[in-house]
A and B are shown apart, each in its own frame.
Chain A
Amino acid sequence: MDNDLNELEQMLRDRAAEVPHVQDVPPTMLTRARRRVARNAVASVLGAVVIVAGASAGLANLRGSGGTLPASSPSVAQLTGCAASDLQGMVSLGGAMGSVEGSIDLTNVGGAPCTLTGRPGVSISDAHGNEVSVQVTPSEPQWKANAAPEPQGWPVVSLQPGSAASVRVRWSNACPQLSGPVSWQIDLGNGAGTLDASSTDASFVPPCNGPTEPSTLEVGPFEPSAGA
């Protein structure tokens, strides 16, 4: 066993030695980096314009309807979109009528506030790392299912360091029956990257109720975590 590991380690080191020690900085990389930074800056400005316009419209509505203004609202104009490397994912599931249902919680473990918007791409891998075939369909957010008031700022979810966003999921009919454990992969979209979400119980998989029917995965949009 030790011999096998030593041989594997030595093979990896031999392969690593094929990569030269000193590398010049590719001019194309710096050009792309400058473009990306400039694009992010433009996106931030456009985002700020949209938010200011939305806020103005909201104020006008409140004034028109005699409503009261919220005490204060965090400014998200300067916040950037969360990257996968900023987040840590955790899946919490429970059994529900032949399905497993729950949420994917994404905690900002980075050092700066950031935002999430829209609906992530979600995929599931079996114990061997192979992607499980599922038919993904959009579902409504948990707050709407609970008939709760719309969270402030939604559909933009602002995450301070340490706070979490949530994505509602419901998975049904895993055929052939999986024995677990499974892992969940979350694609944040817009090139923000993909992260793996660990599970409180990785073996939680739905029963195979219809071998000829597809396995379905309902995925909601980002929303503030109920525990946030």
Chain B
Amino acid sequence: MSEAEGGRLAELYVRHAAEATRLAYMLTGDRQLAEDLVQDAFVKLAGRLVHLRDPGAFDAYLRRTIVNLANSHFRRKRVERSYLNRTAAEPPRVGDAPDTGRRDELWNGLQRLPVRQRTAIVLRIYEDLPEQRVADILGCRPGTVRSLVSRGLAELRVHVRSDGDG
């Protein structure tokens, strides 16, 4: 990797890392893991900068890589379910925001959704991407995105209601 390529990678990192970390944080619910995933994404993309003919496409490329890395993380570790059960039972981690009631319930509920539903909700509602773009990232049809979001929101309401009751 030449000095110029290293400089370009650093420039892209400064420009995009914060937004990428926010997306990874939404998908994983864990700040440290999010920062690790973003570093991994930039390392992965480093070797492909030379093929990036449209610099404007980097944003989309990075977003897709983050989503894939988050999915791979949960699948590879095969701990999503146990992780969610564990965090559901654990008191808030040190450094978590103080309990502000319903918004914390929403956040915890979001992290307990299956990863594809969570990803679809984050990309549609937080990133405000059109259904077709979300479908491209998830590799599915726009109708499937609608269904994932709808089912995810329904499950989220159930989680929030049961947490509120408890």
Contacts and interface: CB of A to CB of B under 8 A. Distances in A.
Contact of A7 (B9, B47, B102, B117): B102
Interface string B6-19: 10011001100110
* A-side interface mostly: mixed
A193 B68 contact: yes
Interface residues of A, number: 58
Interface string B135-146: 110111100100
Given A37-B47, A83-B48, A129-B115, A196 B25 contact: no
B163 to A, nearest CB: 14
A193 B68 CA distance: 7
B17 A23 contact: yes
A25 B39 CA distance: 9
B64 A183 contact: no
A12 B119 CA distance: 13
A168 to B, nearest CB: 19
Contact of A88 (B75, B97, B139, B148): B139
Interface in A14-54: 14-16, 18-23, 25-26, 28-30, 32-34, 36-38, 40
B83 interface: no
Given A12-B126, A194-B71, A36 B21 contact: no
B44 interface: yes
A128 interface: yes
Most B C-beta atoms less than 10 A away, residue of A40, A84, A110, A123: A84
Given A20-B18, A80-B47, A194-B68, A11 B10 contact: no
Contacts of A18: 25, 31, 97
B116 A129 contact: yes
A29 B43 contact: yes
A125 B17 contact: no
B1 A33 contact: yes
B156 A8 contact: yes
B46 A123 contact: no
Nearest to B149: A5
A14 to B, nearest CB: 7
B interface bracket (residues with beta carbon within 8 Å of A): 35 or more
A219 interface: no
A123 B39 contact: no
Contacts of B136: 88
A112 interface: yes
Contacts of A32: 39, 43
Contacts of A194: 68, 71-72, 75
A33 B125 contact: no
Interface of B: 1, 5-6, 9-10, 13-14, 17-18, 21-22, 25-26, 31, 34, 39, 42-44, 46-48, 51-54, 61, 64-65, 68-69, 71-72, 75, 97, 102-103, 106-107, 110, 113-117, 121-122, 125-126, 135-136, 138-141, 144, 147-148, 151, 153, 156-157
25 contacts: A7-B103, A8-B106, A8-B156, A9-B125, A14-B97, A18-B97, A19-B31, A20-B18, A23-B13, A23-B14, A23-B21, A28-B39, A33-B9, A36-B43, A40-B47, A110-B51, A111-B51, A128-B117, A129-B117, A195-B139, A196-B71, A196-B116, A196-B139, A198-B140, A198-B144
Given A193-B69, A198-B139, 11 more contacts: A12-B26, A25-B13, A29-B39, A30-B10, A33-B43, A85-B61, A85-B68, A89-B139, A111-B51, A131-B75, A196-B139
